[in-house]
């Protein structure tokens, strides 16, 4: 299995803050990395695919970067609707794996 480790596990931030979430892969996965947002009681929603490609309809304040083993999801200016959990997921291996998640809470 390719282990995906996110940091931090949770963070508190205010509306308007710049937020960065990190995902580290247990081995190099090139740019085979996706990011999802999940709100309580809802299904995950795709935000970013192939490390840096914004999914259609996702606000441009979301961006992704990285390659190899280290990746970043950045929210440039946190909005009230962005308080949620975020998961990275690798598709380099046939065995897909997710990070453990990062919960973004209101400060």
Partner 1 sequence: QVQLQESGPGLVKPSETLSLTCTVSGGSISNYYWSWIRQSPGKGLEWIGHIYYRGSTNYNPSLKSRVTISVDISKNQFSLRLSSVTAADTAVYYCARERYSNYGGGYYYYMDVWGKGTTVTVSS
- What are the residues binding partner 1 (CB under 8 A)? 1, 30-32, 34, 36, 38, 42-46, 49-50, 53, 55, 87, 89, 91, 94-101
- Integer Cα distance of 25 and 33 in angstroms: 9
* Least Å from the CB of residue 87 to partner 1: 6
Kindly tell me which of 31 and 74 has the beta carbon lying closer to partner 1: 31
64 forms bridges with which residues in the sheet? 73
Q: Smallest gap, in angstroms, from Cβ of residue 16 to partner 1?
A: 28
Shorter beta-carbon distance to partner 1: residue 17 or 103:
103
Pick the closer one to partner 1 by CB: 12 or 53: 53
Helix/strand/coil for 56 = coil
Question: Cβ 38 to partner 1, closest distance in Å?
Answer: 8
CA distance 80 to 100: 23
Of 10, 21, 36, 11, whose CA–CA distance to 90 is shortest?
Answer: 36
8/23 Cα distance (integer angstroms): 9
Question: Among residues 14 and 94, whose Cβ is nearest to partner 1?
Answer: 94
């Amino acid at each position: 299995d390719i282990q995906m480790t996110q940091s931090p596990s949770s963070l508190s931030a205010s509306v308007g803050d710049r937020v960065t979430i990190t995902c580290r892969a247990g081995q190099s996965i090139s740019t085979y990395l996706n990011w999802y947002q999940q709100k309580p009681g809802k299904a995950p929603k795709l935000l970013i695919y192939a490390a840096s490609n914004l999914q259609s309809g996702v606000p441009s304040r979301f961006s992704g970067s990285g390659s190899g083993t280290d990746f970043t999801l950045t929210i440039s200016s946190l909005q009230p609707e962005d308080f949620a959990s975020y998961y990275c997921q690798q598709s380099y291996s046939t065995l897909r794996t997710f990070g453990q998640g990062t919960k973004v809470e209101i400060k």
